[in-house]
Amino acid sequence: MKALKETKDCSRSLLAIRDSLDLLGGKWKIPIIGALIHFKSARFIELQHALDNITPRMLSKELKELEINQLIERKVISTQPIAITYEITAHGESCSSILQELEKWGNEHRKKIIGK
């Protein structure tokens, strides 16, 4: 009986991890979220410059997916010409502790592997 409960708990935990990885996985989503947590609000070109080597097409695709998942918000500003900014949402801000832990672990891993 205890083993069955532990198996269900493990399955539930793995499902949540899989959901998180499906949403945040890939090369660019976490850096985009990190940049928007840092900037709070940024235009497309500012994000492209902050994220070395990302193509405009890939940035556009990733921003749309993050917007669909309510991690960022696209705002159209009625100026001449029209300006579009991207802002981190409260839901997106909730990723900040994950990013801090990834940064901490990445620094520790780099020291262990490279010695720097």
Q: 43 - beta bridge partners?
A: 85
The CATH class that applies to domain 26-114 reads mainly alpha
Domain boundaries, the chain: 26-114
Q: Show the tokens assigned to 111.
A: 């020291």
Q: Per-residue pLDDT tens for 17-60?
A: 998 998 898 999 999 999 999 999 999 999 999 999 999 999 99
Whole-structure pTM value: 0.85
Q: Per-residue pLDDT tens for 54-92?
A: 999 999 999 999 999 999 999 999 988 899 999 999 999
Q: 56 φ, ψ to 5°?
A: -55, -40
